[in-house]
Amino acid sequence: MHTAETHRQASTWQNVKNKYLDRGLCHACAGQAAWGHQNGFSSIHEPCLACQPVVDNLPVDKKGPWRGIDASGWGRKAEKGE
């Protein structure tokens, strides 16, 4: 059974999405990237053709056609209750 996301998870997703928007991704691709950070990059759609060149220049290799930004220190410990 899937549980509803917490306020903290939703807030983290929005913050990560905003980081990708700042890097130049469209809203749809930024949302996919944020989802990838929370649930794995193998579970998201490929970047759109307009965003693929931006994604190609991101620093961290991810699954499939995705590259990402470094998420270390983004509150994952807080989300997991550590």
Q: Where are the domains of the chain?
A: 7-80
> The pTM is what?
0.81
**pLDDT score recorded for residue 20:** 95
Distance, in Å, from the CA atom of 19 to the CA atom of 51, rounded to the nearest integer, reads: 14
**pLDDT score recorded for residue 50:** 98
Q: Which residues pair with 81 in a beta bridge?
A: none
Please measure the distance between the N-terminal and C-terminal CA atoms of the chain and give it in whole angstroms: 23
Q: Which residues of the chain have pLDDT under 50?
A: 76-82
Contact of 15 with 74, CB cutoff 8 Å: yes
Q: Which residues pair with 13 in a beta bridge?
A: none
Q: Radius of gyration (Cα) for the chain, nearest Å?
A: 13
